[in-house]
Structure 1
Amino acid sequence: MKNLIKYTLCSLGLAICLVSCNEDEYLQFQDTNGLNAAVLEATPELQESAVVAIYSAFRSEGMYGRYGNLLYDYVSDELSINISGQPQLSRISEFLLDGTFDAPSGFYKSAYSGIAKANFVIEGSANYTTEPEFYEPLVAEAYFMRGLYYYILATRYGDVPIKIGESTTGFQPKSTQVEVLEQAVADLKLAAEGMRTKGIQSTGRATNETAYAMLGKTYLYLKQYDEAYEAFDQVTSYSLMSNYIDNFNVAGEFNDETLLEIDFRKGSLDGLWGNNVGNNNTLSTLRSADYSGWGNSIPSPVLVEAYEDNDPRFDDTWWVTGDSYGTGRTWGVDPDVGDFSGPTLGGTRMKKYSSYIEDDVHTQDNGTNIRLLRYSDVLLMKAETELFRSGGSLSNAIALMNQVRSRPSVSMPLYGTVAMNDAGYPVNSVEEAFAALIHERQIELAGEGKRFIDLQRWDLDMEFLFNTGIKPNYSLDKRYLPIPTEQIDTNPLIND
């Protein structure tokens, strides 16, 4: 049973409405609403609620309600698309997007909506009359969310405008990707120094160690390995779950491996982060419907071949004909008792975040939480810093990768053993260990939206996507998503 953060309904609704009244205006960077951030001085409940509201953009259709999943997974070499009647998904997979398409436009708008809400809290904090011990961690949390949204924008759109205050008026030109990432670094540093710690922070919200992990991830993208290592080294309160699949089902939500989790609810308007204003107040995600209920996604041949023999993570990531699902029905034989066709299609379909892990019937209002950042990801990123930082240790990098493989439910042969040497993954040099790391991230994080960004930051996207023939339409000028046409049309500075 998910823990609920309890606020008075009126204060939560007010805080969210205050920062969500007109998202398009925020995108154009015009303060037409005349919002007065001083309203947040009224009560601690309002201050807390306004911070909670910053998270709500994650649940929008533009982000992880739907398109945020597809815009990462469908552009990588992980998935082949099995689509019936959904040509818009093919356009994502085939890199045939432009600025008029709903997916990149919705993703962009949602991120800036989150930034606007964060700016509202940050600027409003000058008027807070509560004790600093109460509101300073909240402001730090707002900095974290703003830094996270800027990281997302920089890595998926490249050069984008920066807006860092509600008082900023008028249109803004694009900043370079590096400048946007540096803004993310500045925000995440402030966040890490001031946010609530694990055990004190409310369930379902980011902690100071989440901020350190995202800071390390941002430094890693910038190839600043020493700084990334120092940030990752601050993440000490999290641990791997014994059962790998508990990172993708309802039963394992808010576990000790999750540093950041997107809270979804099935058939409910209640949730940790309040109403999702602007998207029919839905708190559910189409992730399970797209990937398993409708059966749109199958693993690419490249990914299937990458799995080692008998790796349990394959079974925890994919449904295969003959698997038992729900309360004992058989995949490929027994139909969904509702209207979805995934089980009767059989074959191989995505299991992570699937409703069928627990249920016989699929619905569009899936409530399985999406884990945006896991401790295993942090361990593997830290291993990467050990390979490339000054004074790094090859043996430490191997040990970090082996922690991930040693999870009780995985228990695969360890790097550095004869078995892994024979499997084609020796680790006698930095180059060999990096090849093993590429493999380990591919398997451990399959279908979790990490692969495309990895290939991009390693400058291996052309090699793995185009040169292999997996994505014949791919080219470096398609590395980043198109900025929405409406933003280009309304902002005369955006192309300067």
Structure 2
Amino acid sequence: MKKLNIFLASAMAVLSLASCDINDVQNVGELSSSTFPVSKEDGEAVLAGVYQNLNQVCADPQMSFLYYAQLASDDMLGGGGVNDKLMQADDLLCNYNADMTNVFYEARYKGINRANTLIEALPNTSMDEDTKKSLMGQTKFLRAFYYYELASMYGNVPMRLKPGSEAITQGNIEDPWKQILMDLRDAVDLLPATKSTDGHVDKYAAEALLGRAWLFYSGFFGNGSTLADLTSTTYNPLTSVELPDGTTLSKENVITAIDDCVANSGRKLVDKYQNLWAYTNRCTVEDYDYTKGQGFKWVEDDASQNPETLFSIKFNKFASWDTTIGYANGYALHFGVRGGQNYGNTFPFGQGWGAGPVAPNLVKDWAAAEPNDARRDASVQDWSKVETYKKGGWADFVQETDYYAKKWAPISCKNDQLKDGYSCTFENVMYPGNWDVAGKENMQLNNIHDLVLIRFADVLLMQSELKKDVAGINEVRKRAGLNPIAAYSEEALRNERRWELACEGTRWNDLRRWHIAAAALEKQNGVAVYYCGQPDKNTPHNGGYTARYNATAGFQKMPETQVALGTVKQNEGWTGADSEYQGWK
């Protein structure tokens, strides 16, 4: 009997199907695919377990693809302390220890196995057809997303499409992507043409992820699937792909889906770019010099729904050190300000582990290309302009720069009820009372603002890229207060994606699919950094960025535990001593 063990906190994501209330919690016990799902409620409980895998990975964000994508890109360096070698290894495309990312690898396959259980069971239930289609569409979306992250991270991952625990082995490196595209095509067809209002993924989220997956697959594999093909500097995107069921998905099919998302999703651009980010929350906005008096209002104030979001991970007040760490936004913690200095020194940006210092080359390129772009200051804090900021972290900060990413940061707020005058997170004030065992004022567990994975601006830019027109680009530029561009070009599109989506985790796969990764990463060599508070240079390690990218195509090392099991072969570029990071100095 196949068992699906689910511990569900419905507030974890309004994604969990039970409630949109940030204060609710519900437990669901052990479910068996031989008897479940029968009713709609049973099916929703199983699906909640598939969604829960989003939060499971947030418990150890440093091992995830999203974390790697941030640090490996030319948006950010690695950061962290002298002993946080994983962070620096991610940036340098190196490895640190045998199983650096195995927790993520195994977690995503747990989510996939839960999805497979529901996909197999649904056709044999007596639910009404509309309910079946909705549950099946959401489940196929989630399976596609989990495989999207695995295939982006590791390349040729084994494809488990049926529930079970037997060993599975690799096929062709392109097989996962064809399955991802087919699952998303099916999700688009299955889900109703109505906007989700309860945090679940909907038809339009599936269309958006289909666009993202298509653009990556068609570009990255446009020259072929060998290491030389994937690291070639020639950009020659595919226009169609044969799916596992024998049908063909074309670029025109994807354009149709993206056009529908733009026209009918009910999403829109937020009026002011700054309103997307938590530093404009009502508890902080009028105390922050950059935002006070500007009329900014965070779109998620008091658990409001962000009209620009198509897909996000939700969090709640029930994070604890037991099994529910992932109910807190661990990415905010990791990208928080390193060093434990007074909150007033870095206000409104809260404390954390110092991952992902913004690469100076991003700021330099941006200022040169768009000197009047207000999104730059909305996205990046220049510490050199903050007299109270103290460099060095705990006298151990590696690859520190003068620049800090604002978007995913923990955000503090003033609080006269506390001795030092600040709450470690604004959520403690916005959502008072009823915090779980960790309690209030816990800087590690009290970040619960959304982690947005796909937003409408991204869809508009995908539309422009697919159709090679300026409509979507110019709509995004209009919000930024910039003049429209007259004609489409790859350079204009690529720049617009870089500025609009800076430090949101999309840049890494953009670089890879456009076949410009090595050249872009090389611009990080020699940029100004600080080591333990002292001026330093970002120096090449293990042969440098270009050598490491060309050796790996940006794929991570397969966890040695998985290689030892015989289910996967080690990826190219990861068997020699030159792949092992030994430390900054």
| Cα pair 2:89 2:96 within 8 Å, conserved | no
In structure 1, stretches of 5+ residues that fail to align are: 19-35, 270-274, 324-330, 388-396, 417-426
The SS at the match of 2:371 is coil
Take 2:140 and 2:170, find their aligned partners in 1: how far apart are those partners?
21
Amino-acid identity (%): 22
Matched residue count: 430
Which residue number in structure 1 is paired with residue 104 of structure 2?
A: 107
User: Considering only aligned residues, what root-mean-square deviation do their CA atoms show, in Å?
Assistant: 3.3
User: How far apart are 1:334 and its partner, in Å?
Assistant: 7.8
- 1:118 aligned onto 2:115: yes
User: How far apart are 1:358 and its partner, in Å?
Assistant: 5.1
Take 1:164 and 1:72, find their aligned partners in 2: how far apart are those partners?
26
User: How far apart are 1:115 and its partner, in Å?
Assistant: 0.8
Take 2:207 and 2:97, find their aligned partners in 1: how far apart are those partners?
33
Matches for 1:93-242 after TM superposition, within 5 Å = 93-97=91-95, 100-102=98-100, 104-166=101-163, 170-199=166-195, 201-223=196-218, 224=239, 225-235=251-261, 236=263, 237=265, 238-242=267-271
Which residue number in structure 1 is paired with residue 292 of structure 2?
A: none
The SS at the match of 1:260 is strand
Q: Deviations 1:249-302 (Å, cap 9, x if unpaired)?
A: 26424312111011022x425xxxxx99x8445401222222233244322122
The SS at the match of 1:242 is coil
Take 2:159 and 2:28, find their aligned partners in 1: how far apart are those partners?
27
Which residue number in structure 1 is paired with residue 28 of structure 2?
A: 13
Matches for 1:423-462 after TM superposition, within 5 Å = 427=487, 433-462=489-518
User: How far apart are 1:54 and its partner, in Å?
Assistant: 1.1
The one of 471, 481, 496 equivalent to 1:411 is 481
User: How far apart are 1:371 and its partner, in Å?
Assistant: 0.6
- 1:312 aligned onto 2:393: no
Once the two structures are overlaid, the 10-residue window that deviates more, 349-358 or 445-454, is 349-358
Q: Which amino acid aligns with 2:557?
A: P
Q: Which amino acid aligns with 2:411?
A: Y
- 1:268 aligned onto 2:318: yes
Which residue number in structure 2 is paired with residue 373 of structure 1?
A: 454
User: How far apart are 1:106 and its partner, in Å?
Assistant: 2.4
Take 1:268 and 1:60, find their aligned partners in 2: how far apart are those partners?
13
| Cα pair 1:144 1:211 within 8 Å, conserved | yes
In structure 2, stretches of 5+ residues that fail to align are: 1-10, 219-238, 240-250, 282-297, 339-353, 415-421, 426-442, 527-539, 572-585
User: How far apart are 1:384 and its partner, in Å?
Assistant: 1.0
Take 2:146 and 2:57, find their aligned partners in 1: how far apart are those partners?
16
Q: Which amino acid aligns with 1:349?
A: Y
Which residue number in structure 2 is paired with residue 391 of structure 1?
A: none
Q: Deviations 1:438-473 (Å, cap 9, x if unpaired)?
A: 111111111111111001111111221247647724
Take 1:40 and 1:332, find their aligned partners in 2: how far apart are those partners?
60
Which residue number in structure 2 is paired with residue 364 of structure 1?
A: 444
| Cα pair 1:63 1:106 within 8 Å, conserved | no
The one of 398, 403, 414 equivalent to 1:348 is 403
Q: Deviations 1:125-170 (Å, cap 9, x if unpaired)?
A: 1332222222321111111111121222222211111111115x63
Take 1:480 and 1:5, find their aligned partners in 2: how far apart are those partners?
34
Q: Deviations 1:22-66 (Å, cap 9, x if unpaired)?
A: xxxxxxxxxxxxxx4132234322211211221222223467744
| Cα pair 1:466 1:475 within 8 Å, conserved | no
Report the TM-score when normalising by structure 2: 0.67
Take 1:457 and 1:495, find their aligned partners in 2: how far apart are those partners?
22
Take 1:52 and 1:404, find their aligned partners in 2: how far apart are those partners?
34
Q: Deviations 1:105-131 (Å, cap 9, x if unpaired)?
A: 222222212111111111111332222
The one of 44, 66, 70 equivalent to 1:73 is 70
User: How far apart are 1:314 and its partner, in Å?
Assistant: 1.4
User: How far apart are 1:206 and its partner, in Å?
Assistant: 0.7
Which residue number in structure 1 is paired with residue 359 of structure 2?
A: 300
User: How far apart are 1:369 and its partner, in Å?
Assistant: 0.9
User: How far apart are 1:193 and its partner, in Å?
Assistant: 1.0
Q: Deviations 1:74-127 (Å, cap 9, x if unpaired)?
A: 00111134432422211111111267233x222222221211111111111133
Q: Which amino acid aligns with 2:318?
A: S
User: How far apart are 1:180 and its partner, in Å?
Assistant: 0.8
Judged with a 3 Å threshold, the aligned counterparts in structure 2 of structure 1 residues 142 and 61 are, in CA distance, closer, same or farther, namely: closer
Judged with a 3 Å threshold, the aligned counterparts in structure 2 of structure 1 residues 492 and 177 are, in CA distance, closer, same or farther, namely: closer
Q: Between Structure 1 and Structure 2, which shows a larger proportion of helix residues?
A: 1
The SS at the match of 1:141 is helix
